[in-house]
Structure formats: C-alpha cells, structure tokens
Amino acid sequence: VADDASWTIFPGPVSWTVNLSNVSYDSVSFSVSSQDSGPHDIAFNSDGTKMYIVGIGSATVYQYTLSTGFDLSTASYDSVSFSMSSQDSSVSGIAFNTDGTKMYMVGYANDSIHQYSLSTGFDVSTASYDSVSFSVSGHELVPTGLAFNTDGTKMYITGNNSTRMYQYTLSTGFDLSTASYNNVNFNVFSYDSSPYSLAFNTDGTKMYLIGRQLDRVYQYSLSTGFDLSTISYDSVNFSVNSQDTDPAGLVFSSDGTKMYMVGVNTDTVYQY
C-alpha cells in the first residue's frame, strides 16, 4: 500500500501443504460439553486467538479465546454465543470470510446455507442474520461440511446422504446471494460412507476430509487449485479413533502446522 514516499507491505496467506502421514496427536484437548452436547464443526479466526464451535445440541455458535494463538491448552470460553435456531435446528457446519465480517452456517433440518454479518470481525456478539440463504436440497439432504476458497468465489459442501462433495460458484466473493451450482461433484463413498467435514490448504491443491464411518482424515490432491473436477485420492489417511469414535469437525491452523478435530462422542476438541 503506497503511503506518500513509502510502502507498507501486508503479506498474503502463508502457503502450506500437509502430508497426513506426518501428523501426530499433541495430547492436548478442550471440552466444550458445557456449551453443546453435540458439537459438529469448528473454526478459528486468522491468528488463532478465537475459536468457534457449532452443534446440533443447541443450534448455536459459541466463541472462545486462546491466549496463545492456535494453542488449545490456552483456550477459555468467552461466554459469548449466537443462536441460529431460527434458521436451522440442526446446525452442522460453520465458516467465515477472511476478515470475519461474514459468517456462514449449514444445517440439515432445512438443507440450506445461511449468511450472517458481524459488525466487528470475528466477534459473534455483533452477529445478525442477513436474511440470505442458499438451498442445497437438490444435491444433499444431510449437509454437514462447509468450506470456501480464499476469495469466496467457490463454495463446497459435503454430506451423509449423497456421500459427495459439491462445488458452487459465487459471482461476488462471499456473497451467498450470487451462488450457483457448478455441476461439479466428487463421490467419496469408496473412502468413507459418512463424510462430515472438509478443509483445503491455502492454494486449494490439497483437500482434507474427515469421515465418521472409519474415524479418519483423508488427503486428496487437486491438479487445479479449488477445482473438484481435478481431484484424486492420495492414498493417505490419518486415524483419530483413539481420540473420538464419532469425529465431526476439521480445521487447520493458518500455516498448516496444527490440525484440530471436534468429536461428538466426547464433546471435545483435539489438537494435532
């Protein structure tokens, strides 16, 4: 950014790729059972100092603070939450835009994605519903996972009914009212019959999927970033069965050196 005779440099997202064969459990966990008895997804802000949980137990998003970014051992509940029950009673997935001024929820009571605004980025106490939604019922009747590419022009869901991942285009980034189906999907049934959450690396050349049938995270490559039509399985996976036999949510730190899973059986977030 030019400023008189000087320049201020704002670095872009750190590029990373995780090979799941190098993952190990940190023996660090954090219980969210006091907030939700059925946590289904997890998200962080960009520096890992805020964490968010949604679940079917309360159809509510809960906000937590990490005094050291992406260090789950420093997490505490903010006593801040936002109910989404008016939009869906079975909330299963959550995502944010880059600066946290938009929040998105997918649920399988109404099979739709809903859009919210936060007047202060990543502060759930300032959230309000935009009265904007997008139905995915024509593709998936039990949508569970939700993700975007880095500029919000691509959106992805996965779910238990079709065992597929679907790709959508947003003509205006992160504006759900401009979403349309790409006619692109990928069937993961041969790897796991109960896909639940998905995540991408920064440039979209790797995708990671968590499944509840075998309690594993699976790794895929995309020869064209964020284009599901170019996806292939890497024959690499990682078991989280020792932590939870009903894993639901999956997310990575912004530099890819940490992975987090939230499980339904234990109502707990685990760090890897």
pLDDT digits (tens, 9 = 90+) for 29-79: 999 999 999 999 999 999 999 999 998 889 999 999 999 999 999 999 999
In contact, 92 and 41? CB cutoff 8 Å: yes
pLDDT digits (tens, 9 = 90+) for 173-186: 999 999 999 999 99
Longest dimension (CA), the chain: 59
CB-based contacts of 27, cutoff 8 Å, min separation 6: none
> What DSSP designation does 240 have?
-
pLDDT at 16: 87
| Verdict on whether the full-model pTM lies above 0.85 | yes
Q: 160 in helix, strand or coil?
A: coil
- Name beta bridge partners: 132: 115
pLDDT at 1: 55
Measured between alpha carbons, how far is 191 from 207 in angstroms, rounded to an integer?
14
pLDDT at 9: 58
Measured between alpha carbons, how far is 31 from 9 in angstroms, rounded to an integer?
39
Measured between alpha carbons, how far is 59 from 84 in angstroms, rounded to an integer?
6
Confidence of residue 10 (pLDDT cuts 50, 70, 90): low
| Tokens describing residue 81 | 């939450």
pLDDT digits (tens, 9 = 90+) for 185-229: 999 999 999 999 999 999 999 999 999 999 999 999 999 999 999
String of b and e for 187-197 (b: at least 16 CB within 10 Å)? ebeebbebbbb
In contact, 60 and 82? CB cutoff 8 Å: yes
pLDDT at 15: 79
CB-based contacts of 245, cutoff 8 Å, min separation 6: 215, 263, 265
- Name beta bridge partners: 181: 168
pLDDT at 127: 98
Q: Provide the sign of the torsion angle of the four alpha carbons 233, 148, 226, 228, taken in this order.
A: positive
pLDDT at 18: 86
pLDDT digits (tens, 9 = 90+) for 220-270: 999 999 999 999 999 999 999 999 999 999 999 999 999 999 999 999 999
Q: Does the pLDDT value for residue 140 go beyond 80?
A: yes
